[in-house]
A and B are shown apart, each in its own frame.
Chain A
């Protein structure tokens, strides 16, 4: 590895640098409509993660969907999207031209639908890997897959034979022991875990004496959750051998480096994209200097280091 290099890999996918986007925090197609081809020419991420794709089109949740919190925000967006057919027919080809590897996030409430999603998405050449969003209840068991080590293991085990492409499990922080869920996903055959998803949260409008968000509650993100994410990344990376994609309130190269040192192989920028459309690029650009200041010759050296 060349001195000062940021090149890395995740599940065998070669990356020019370690910065991804969190699923659902950067709509590359909308951004291209707004900003033009500069989005592609100066794409902010080394790998693009799509918003979560579901079997059928979804309108998303009723307003209000956002609430600002100290150093963060709560959202209850509700996974609006075109559904699998719309995504494959319209969006995927354009996403394939971004010039970086593409990870497609999928979610379903039963293994039968997950099977269709994984098979049809994995069959497309544009797709490098699939991320499983497991924050939804299983309609058969009523249990949220991402909260149960056994459910997570069973789901990944069922999907594993469908494709040789990497399967990444997106972990929820809303459990007592995320390392156990990660271990379940690993036993089932997951190639990586990404974490953290948003932290369950509520927004109260005291003037109206009611919950603010349209569906009552939502998920907290932004720097407010960073310490939680760091603790969980540290615990999970110590418990499993598969690589961790770390995220949760990353705003700059310094906070990205915290995740690398906590045990993440690569990182993702999420909420900061809302404040700064080029945040991912700025994280990458600052990372070499941040590594140098700590005496690391390369990203690989920081990835291999352990906390004292």
Chain B
């Protein structure tokens, strides 16, 4: 049976973990963006993530970081016949992200993945969708950048709304979105709209026919939950990429529990990380535990 291009499948991770070389690492607006050269893995799909741990200085002196960290890719590229180059956007908020952000070119990093499922295409989410509305906050802009790129490649229209606390925490805008049209919100009013990115979403959904919208979001739990509620109240289909404490990434640890709307929990690593807004009881339970 021929693959249905409107319903792309999720790429499958090689079994185990592998060492990948750090090709580049540079600061970007309070965050860090680094590139890993993946010789063995497939091209990942928008929404998928990797489990990362530096080869040196992990579980070293002091014993932390110990567990690998789940990080969504922010961009990927493959030159014909060559390896996949994976970009990651990280914010140093704890021992694991500090170590990842501190990796130098030439170092090696343990990589497992890509894990989890991908974002649906707008027409799969909403048969009447005209295009997509992408809402990203903080380092949560990373999976939005990957999705945006795929939509552009497929000729599907999209609008991108990005929110940041302040200029000091706004890395990746130019790196990942380049000169593509985005609308920005800064809580401190330093640029763009003064306030929350959800204000911009509300404006769009008011101006739009909400019936033709498909919304995608990733960012801080409070932002993602606000997007979820806005969409559910208006009957707009929404997919969210969530974060959670996670030890393994492949269904072994049962740590990444997110409450389902119907009761019980899903395992975010294998049932997500992309979930439909109406499938979960709250996006707040997925707040990251480890930095």
Contacts and interface: CB of A to CB of B under 8 A. Distances in A.
Interface of A: 24-27, 30-31, 33-36, 38-39, 42, 59-73, 75, 77, 80, 212, 222-224, 271, 273-278
Closest 8 CB pairs of A and B: A30-B251, A70-B63, A71-B63, A66-B255, A38-B15, A278-B16, A274-B248, A274-B247
Interface stretch (B23-31, B166-174, B257-265): B257-265
Interface string B103-144: 000000010100100000000000000000000000000000
Interface stretch (B32-40, B65-73, B222-230): B65-73
Contacts, number: 138
B106 to A, nearest CB: 23
B183 interface: no
Contacts of A70: 62-64, 66
Given A63-B257, A277-B16, A34 B63 contact: no
Given A38-B14, A59-B264, A80-B265, A30 B250 contact: yes
Contact of A77 (B59, B65, B255): B255
Contacts of A66: 245-247, 253, 255-256, 289-290
A30 B270 contact: yes
10 contacts: A30-B251, A30-B267, A60-B265, A65-B245, A68-B67, A69-B64, A223-B63, A274-B67, A274-B253, A277-B15
Nearest to A41: B15
A64 B265 CA distance: 12
B245 A36 contact: no
Most chain-B Cβ atoms within 10 A of its Cβ — which of A33, A66, A71, A77?
Answer: A66
B46 to A, nearest CB: 18
A274 B62 contact: no
A34 B13 contact: yes
Contacts of A61: 257
Most chain-B Cβ atoms within 10 A of its Cβ — which of A42, A69, A222, A274?
Answer: A274
A69 B63 contact: yes
A72 B13 contact: no
Given A30-B252, A276-B16, A67 B257 contact: no
A275 B290 CA distance: 15
Contact of A67 (B14, B16, B245, B263): B245
A277 B258 contact: no
A277 B254 contact: no
B257 A60 contact: yes
